[in-house]
Amino acid sequence: MAGETAFAAPLTGRRARPSSEGAAAALSLGFTTAFLSIVVVLPIAALVWASRADGLQQFWSVATQPEAVAALELSVGAALLVTLVNAVVGTITAWVLVRDDFHGKSFVNAVIDLPFALPTIVAGLTLLALYGPKSPVGVNVAFTRTAILLALLFVTLPFVVRTVQPVLLELDREAEAAARSLGASELRVFRSIVLPNILPGILSGVALGFARAVGEIGAVVLISGNLPYRTEVASVFVFNHIQSGDQSGAAAVAVVLLLISFAMLLTIGGVRFGVTRHERA
Amino acid sequence: MSIVVHNVSKRFGDFQALDSVSVDVASGSLTALLGPSGSGKSTLLRIVAGLETPDTGDILLAGSDATELSPQKRGVGFVFQHYAAFKHMTVRDNIAFGLEIRKRPKDEIRRRVNELLELVQLQGFGDRFPAQLSGGQRQRMALARALAPEPKVLLLDEPFGALDARVRAELRLWLRRLHAETQTTTVFVTHDQEEAMEVADSVVVMNRGRVEQVAGPRELYDTPANEFVMSFVGQANRFGPSWVRPHDLRVRLTPDESTHEALIERVTHLGFEVRAELVRDDGERFTVQLTRDETERLELASGQIVYVEPTRETTFT
Amino acid sequence: MRRYPLRVIALGYLLLVLLGPLAMIFWRSFDEGLGPLWTSLSDPNTVHAFTLTLIVAAIAVPLNTIFGVVCALAIVRRRFPGAGLVNAIVDLPLAVSPVVVGLSLFLLYGRTGWFGHWFQAHGIQILFAPPSMVIATVFVSLPFVAREVVPTLRELGTEQEQAARTLGANGWTTFWRITLPSIRWAVIYGVVLTTARCLGEYGAVAVVSGRVEGQTETATLRVQDAYENFDLAGAYGISLVLAVLSVVVLIAMTCFKPNQEERA
């Protein structure tokens, strides 16, 4: 980066910047901020504003209604469980895709992205067909919490795999060979050399996956049955309360979900920052 | 610890990297594996380390068969061309790694790491990360790391290849001194014949997966086994049916029965040494190396006709 | 690491969670035969739902593509305070629940919302009409092009652009002839991801659209509608079409995916 500015200075000069360049910079920045404000910032601001409209006391009492709490607990609990599974299986899958070789590997690699490509409602419908009342394999978990877990596992499957893969590809294989030559067992090589380097990748995937799982609606809405206190997730709670006109109830839970999203984004940012720690001279 | 390589062969797909190679490395020696790219030298080194397995043949370490042994169990220290540093660990932790694996007590580890930091002259850098070190420093760290668990054999794969000329020269000297002090059996791979000659006691010249000659630097230079060794180690010219080194050609201004006529095309002054490029009457080009004094005495210049006689030539049947 | 156990775990998991369900759509759709399938697909409301989905995507994708490129240029090429914040806001739609998006739009454009008043006064209907659905879809599919172009632009460096300038090219020419061609694969891949997201959007549009049959239903909303009305053939039929589209998208994703090794 230092080289970049050193080279740029003589060409553009500090004072004599061509006006077209200055205009372009202002324009692109202006457009970006305007677009983001209208599309993202204002709606979110409106939500936060609406939730505090009646004061924090009111917000708290609405947010801690038993049904709301049950829905949030279910969403967070399910998301946590699913995230844990993804952390392990996702890492294994990424490992197999990068280090192993077998017929059909490129097909498998392509298929990982299916949850990104398939509409969530369709995913929910197919899970219902496979693991619901008319299941061809005799498994019926419709209207249970297991169904929610299955749906969330489907939609969050690619996250850890896709964040770990590029990191694995970049790893210095010779460092692993060095560790072996120093006497480290295969498990030790993984623990001391590979894992510390892929951990940021795992964490980003986990944070993104958790955020996605906690707010998922499309995949869950058909298969869970949306039974309050049993299989009603937070997103369905919000939806139902909007429909029934209870905007403050919906807004309260929505803000909690929003805060969780913010926390996950902060985590990812923190991971990105921490990764560059030992690269900064 | 002595190393015996016995009839080792290795293929990579269609490429025969090693073809029935046998080498004996004496315990405590400093040996170079010298050869051009693709000669198989790195492959051989990695097989000795256990990082590759041979298709056929055996490796004996200190007399016992190590062919099936994993690299973890061979007690071999390995230094890689591109350092293979543990980027997420400090210099100190890198060096300590081998000792931690062997579960040595913490103070022993600390003591040994400090000892090694001093040995490789990286005191004060212990708490830095590899990314904060220069190339030469990183390689010194890699050496310290390999030496920490007191290996019986030290293997280095083109250890100075990624460094600039001055650092390379310093580290070569340093490796010789280190070997003199520790007397560990050391084998290093290089494509630079000057490096091999300067550092090693014994040189194994390899080409296309085969060993061409094993000898000390002087013997290699003075009595090469074949054309390849002659032209690879030091400079050599074809001179008619035989081979002559540039400094074994005498230049005269007048002919006699043993001289050949030649035209000087170019004279290059390289400080003390002068190199002259000549062409014989039959069109064959060759190089002669002279001292500055000789050049001045003979008043050699481009375009001049002179008479050249080999003082020493080698012919291979 | 021992190969086979790991391979079996990974592939077994994928089969159970991913491939099994996918196979089901194709199977179930043809369960009752082609006749009922065709009838449900040619239902005018269904056709309208697909049309609406495509129109919304046709607006959202180009908008987000332009935004993505401009935003990436702003973040990478112009150093400005708050670039990190902009980056975070762009990532926001990835982390936020679609229902939360829907609700926030509902509050902003509703009768009592900050913008609601203005639109109502001018007789423009936003909520329970296509405009809100477009805005919702733009929100949720916002990040993709930007996220693909940013790392590509960074890696590209400015040398080519500087070379162009020394040869006399102005800003626009440099952008059009040097920068854009260099990032085109990242843009294409981003467009594929954006399109997939638009086609699959459910939660946010469900909140803002009112789900009026034949007017404000997209294909995904219609699937739920059909299912809840016990029209299984209909639900599976629409799902089949969406699934086929997804497979096309998946193939496009695989083809245009930036080479991971180059990127890393």
User: What is the per-residue pLDDT across C19-40, written as a single tens digit (0 to 9) for each?
Assistant: 887 788 777 777 767 777 787 7
Parse chain C into domains and list their residue ranges.
1-30, 36-263
Q: How far apart are CA B122 and CA B124, in angstroms?
A: 6
- Could you read off the pLDDT of A63-115 as tens digits, one per residue? 888 889 999 999 999 999 999 999 999 999 999 999 988 888 988 998 899 99
CB proximity list for C201: less than 8 A, separation 6 or greater: A119, C98, C136, C137, C140, C141, C218, C220
Rounded Cα distance, B58 and B60, in Å: 6
Residues A62 and A93 in one domain: yes
Question: Binning pLDDT at 50, 70 and 90, where does residue C17 land?
Answer: confident
Low-confidence residues in chain B, pLDDT < 70: none
Are A116 and A242 found together in one domain? yes
Which of B70, B88, B97 is facing A182, going by the closest CB pair? Answer: B97
pLDDT tens-digit readout, C167-207: 777 777 888 888 888 899 999 999 999 999 999 999 999 99
- C-beta of residue C118 within 8 angstroms of C-beta of residue C109: no
Q: Could you tell me if A112 and A184 lie in one domain?
A: yes
Chains that touch A (3 or more CB pairs under 8 A): B, C
Of A17-26, A96-105, B173-182, C73-82, which gets the smallest average pLDDT? A17-26
Contact B140, B121 (CB under 8 A): yes
Name which of B51, B72, B76 is nearest A184 (Cβ-Cβ).
B72
A26 against C90, higher pLDDT:
C90
> Which of A31, A119, A157 lies closest to C242 in CB terms?
A119
First to last CA, chain C: 23
Kindly list the residues from chain A whose CB atom is less than 8 angstroms away from the CB atom of residue B145.
178, 182
Secondary structure of chain C in HEC code, one letter for each residue: CCHHHHHHHHHHHHHHHHHHHHHHHHHHHCCCCHHHHHHHHCCHHHHHHHHHHHHHHHHHHHHHHHHHHHHHHHHHHCCCCCHHHHHHHHHHHHHCCHHHHHHHHHHHHCCCCCCHHHHHHCCCCCCCCHHHHHHHHHHHCCHHHHHHHHHHHHHHCCHHHHHHHHCCCCHHHHHHHHHHHHHHHHHHHHHHHHHHHHHHCCHHHHHHHCCCCCCCCCHHHHHHHHHHCCCHHHHHHHHHHHHHHHHHHHHHHHHHCCCHHHHC
- The answer for residues whose C-beta is within 8 angstroms of residue B316's C-beta and 6 or more apart is B226, B227, B230, B243
Q: Would you list which residues of chain B are within 8 Å, Cβ to Cβ, of chain A?
A: 49-51, 70-74, 76-78, 80, 82, 84-88, 97-98, 101-102, 129, 131-132, 142, 145-146, 148-149
Give the mean model confidence (pLDDT) for residues A178-184: 92
Among B78, B102, B129, beta carbon nearest to A181: B78
C203 touches chain A (CB under 8 A): yes
Token digits for A194? 């590979």
Domain match, A47 and A111 both? no
- Whether residues A65 and A138 fall in one domain: yes
A174 and A41 in a common domain: no
The more confidently predicted of residues C157 and B34 is B34
Asked if residue A65 and residue A31 are part of one domain, the reply reads: no
What is B3-228's CATH superfamily? P-loop containing nucleotide triphosphate hydrolases (3.40.50.300)
Candidates B49, B72, B87; nearest CB to A278: B87
Q: Which domain holds residue A27?
A: 16-51
Q: Is B236 helix (H, G, I), strand (E, B) or coil?
A: coil
The answer on pLDDT for A209 being more than 90 is yes
pLDDT bracket for residue A15 (50, 70, 90) = very low
| Residue A61: its H or E element | helix A56-63
Can you give the pLDDT at residue A281?
A: 43
How do residues A219-236 score in pLDDT, each as one tens digit?
999 888 888 888 899 999
**Using the beta-carbon criterion (under 8 Å), do A43 and C108 form an inter-chain contact?**
yes
Report chain C residues whose CB lies below 8 A from the CB of A33.
Answer: 86
Based on the fold, state whether residues A63 and A191 are members of the same structural domain: yes
Look at A175 and B84 and tell me if their CB atoms are within 8 Å.
Answer: yes
Residues A123 and A262 in one domain: yes
- Does A109 fall in a domain? yes
Q: What are the Cα distances from residue C71, in Å, to A84, A265, B2, C152?
A: 34, 19, 64, 13
The domains of chain B are located at 3-228, 237-310
Minimum distance, in Å, between the CA of residue B199 and any CA atom of chain A: 24
- Planar angle of CA A86, B87, B85, nearest 5 degrees: 125
User: What 3 state SS string does B17-32 have?
Assistant: EEEEEEEEECCCCEEE
Tell me B314's DSSP state.
Answer: B
Please indicate if any CB of chain A lies within 8 Å of the CB of C15. no
Tokens of A11: 């060409």
Quick check: B72 and A192 CB within 8 A?
no
Q: How far apart are CA C167 and CA C163, in angstroms?
A: 6
* Chain B residue nearest residue A275, CA to CA: B88
pLDDT at C42: 84
Residue C59 pLDDT? 96
Which chain A residue has the Cα nearest residue C105? A43
Q: Is residue A192 part of a domain?
A: yes
Res A129 pLDDT > 60: yes
Which residue is closest to B155 within chain A, CA to CA? Answer: A181
pLDDT exceeds cutoff 70 at A279:
no
Domain total of chain A: 2
Which of A1, A38, A39 is the best residue to mutate to test the C interface, defined by the most C CB atoms within 10 Å of its own CB? A39
Q: How far is A43 from chain B (nearest CA, A)?
A: 42
CATH architecture of the region C36-263:
Orthogonal Bundle (1.10)
Q: Give residue C262's pLDDT band: very low, low, confident or very high (50, 70, 90).
A: very low
Q: Which pLDDT does position A8 carry in this prediction? A: 38
Q: Is there a single domain that holds both residue A226 and residue A146?
A: yes
Mean pLDDT of A143-166: 93
Q: What angle do CA B219, B225, B227 make, to 5 degrees?
A: 120
User: A118, C227: Cβ pair inside 8 Å?
Assistant: no
Residue B261 is inside which H or E element, if any? strand B260-270
- Chosen for mutation from A172, A181, A276 (greatest number of chain B CBs closer than 10 Å) is A181
- Which of C3, B125, B10 shows the shortest CA–CA distance to A96? C3
C-alpha A210: how far from chain center: 5
- Check if A34 contacts C (Cβ < 8 Å): no
- How many angstroms separate the Cα of A143 from the Cα of each of A75, A98, A227, A228, B18? 15, 38, 8, 11, 65
Which CATH code for domain B237-310?
A: 2.40.50.140
* CATH number, position A222: 1.10.3720.10
Beta bridge pairs of residue B155 = B78, B187
Contact A118 C200 (CB under 8 A): yes
Q: CA-nearest residue of chain A to B50?
A: A181
* Mean local confidence (pLDDT), A25-51: 88
* Closest-CA distance of chain C to residue A162, Å: 10
Alpha-carbon gap, residue A238 to A256, rounded angstroms: 11
More confident site: A3 or A250: A250
- Does A183 contact B49 at a Cβ distance shorter than 8 Å? no
Q: What are phi and psi of C24, to 5 degrees?
A: -60, -40
pLDDT of residue A3: 38
Chain C environment of A49 (Cβ under 8 Å): 107
Nearest to B80 among A178, A278, A279 (CB): A178
Q: Which residues contact C76 (CB under 8 A, 6 or more apart)?
A: C150, C153, C154
pLDDT at A21: 60
Averaged confidence pLDDT in chain A: 86
| Nearest residue, CB atoms, C99 vs list A121, A239, A265 | A239
pLDDT score at A6: 39
pLDDT band at A12 (very low <50, low <70, confident <90, very high): very low
pLDDT reading at C1 higher than 60:
no
